[in-house]
Structure 1
């Protein structure tokens, strides 16, 4: 099939490369416009745009896919299907109807669970044991289209959202290519999603990423891992924000938020068991091991994270 791939972040690059290496004819790529990034606010292309350029594939960067000029350019490429991974913009009906086989999305959950922008983060935070990826045909309703195929992936005890998403991106690339193969040869037929088991996965806001130390150790641990690397779990110390890396189990108990610092470890209390702080980052500072941060604070005892 002739395909036009749509995607933006690094997590979409494995699928782009897998399609480029497949028997399908990759005739174009759609991605979000260049954006300013980093401390210098340098204008940079998306990871997908950079990969497409390396592959020598034409790149379209519409401000929004409803733009008539973009839709005319897409029609001129005459795709049979548009595979999608984390494109980052809602595709309007006028664009959805351009490829005869539709827009085929790779979503990182076992639909209908975790429809939305943050399925991997929400799955970890909820304490799921297993997640996966699903391919489906995009319709107007969010992540509600009929599905083609699935893959499953175990959520490991120490997985961050970044760890899990990286594995799903690699495995999902194969699923997306297999889905395109099945559409092309007629062996795959999209099936409606079940009406039960629907859950929502909205983007996690910075405010939601703030740790409540009165929660159980298990919940706090899952929250921090779910928010790593983005948006980043955080707390406050002495009125200043402190970003938190993944935590570890510790022996004993402490009052929620209370910290005890030793030479090699910093322990913090929760609503149940204590936890070991991992890497922390103060505002304007660099990430560092918690014991190094504690030495700089000259903790005397009785201090707490809030």
Structure 2
């Protein structure tokens, strides 16, 4: 099939690579415009644009797909299907039926669970034991279209949103190619989503990353892992400075510390929660790089009660 691939961040690259290695023809790539990135916030092309240009593919970077000229340009490509992986923009109704087989989206959850922008983060945050990926046909509703295929993935105890998303991106690439193959062969019919067990996964904000030490340790652990690497989990020191937190280790045998109270020793840095303590691994003070928590604790004054948050 002739394809228009739509995607923007690094998580879309395994799918683009898999499609380029398949029997299908990518005639163009659609990605978001260049945007500020990195510590210096310099304008840079999306990872998908970089990979597409390396492969010698035409790249479209419109600010909106509602522009009539952009819609005409996409229509003139004459594609059979438009696979989508984390494109980051809305496909307007006028374009949904332009490809013969529509726009086929790879979504990183088992729909109808976790419809929205941050399905993997919410799966970790809410303690899901199993998640997965789904290919479905885009329609006007938010991730409501009929399903072509699914795969499942176990959420491991130490998974961050980043590590889980990486596994799903690679496994999902195979699912997406298999979906395209079956569509091309006329062997696949989309099945409407169930209306039961629908859950929403809005993008997590910086405030969502704030750790509340009065919550049970398991909830603290899940929030930190769900916000790693983005938007980042954090707390504050007694002087109000922000401290970014990496994943922690549960210490159920330590119950004498109150919520947020820090106990530092040569063997580690413990923080109390609403249930039992957790052990900090890496932290990053404001404006500084990540460092072992023990190194941070030796160089900071926490005050008499040594309390975070």
Q: Do they fold alike, i.e. is TM over 0.5? A: yes
Structure 2 residue 266 is the aligned partner of structure 1 residue 279: no
Partner of 2:68: 68
Partner of 1:291: 294
CA drift of 1:75 comes to 1.4
Kindly indicate whether the alpha-carbon contact (under 8 Å) linking 2:218 and 2:250 is maintained by their aligned counterparts in 1: no
Structure 1 Cα separation of the partners of residues 226 and 303 of structure 2? 32
Partner of 2:207: 207
Kindly indicate whether the alpha-carbon contact (under 8 Å) linking 1:6 and 1:87 is maintained by their aligned counterparts in 2: yes
Partner of 1:266: 269
Partner of 1:154: 154
Superposed counterparts of 1:43-58, under 5 Å: 43-58=43-58
CA drift of 1:202 comes to 0.3
Which segment is superposed worse, 32-41 or 274-283? 32-41
Structure 1 Cα separation of the partners of residues 70 and 303 of structure 2? 62
* SS at 2:299 equivalent: helix
Partner of 2:254: 252
* SS at 1:297 equivalent: coil
Please give the per-residue CA displacement for 1:176-234, whole angstroms capped at 9, x wherever unaligned: 00000111111110000001010000001111111111111111100000000000011
Superposed counterparts of 1:26-175, under 5 Å: 26-175=26-175
TM-score normalised according to structure 2 size: 0.97
Kindly indicate whether the alpha-carbon contact (under 8 Å) linking 1:148 and 1:190 is maintained by their aligned counterparts in 2: yes
* SS at 1:231 equivalent: coil
Structure 1 Cα separation of the partners of residues 41 and 206 of structure 2? 21
* SS at 2:53 equivalent: helix
RMSD: 1.0
Please give the per-residue CA displacement for 1:158-188, whole angstroms capped at 9, x wherever unaligned: 0000000000000000000000011111111
Kindly indicate whether the alpha-carbon contact (under 8 Å) linking 2:237 and 2:302 is maintained by their aligned counterparts in 1: no
Structure 2 residue 296 is the aligned partner of structure 1 residue 302: no
Gapped regions of structure 2 (runs ≥ 5): none
Partner of 1:241: 242
Kindly indicate whether the alpha-carbon contact (under 8 Å) linking 1:260 and 1:301 is maintained by their aligned counterparts in 2: no
Kindly indicate whether the alpha-carbon contact (under 8 Å) linking 1:260 and 1:302 is maintained by their aligned counterparts in 2: no
Structure 2 Cα separation of the partners of residues 242 and 299 of structure 1? 12
How many residues are paired up?
Answer: 306
Please give the per-residue CA displacement for 1:58-78, whole angstroms capped at 9, x wherever unaligned: 100000111122111111211
TM-score normalised according to structure 1 size: 0.98
CA drift of 1:299 comes to 4.6
CA drift of 1:41 comes to 2.7
Structure 2 Cα separation of the partners of residues 87 and 77 of structure 1? 18
CA drift of 1:12 comes to 0.2
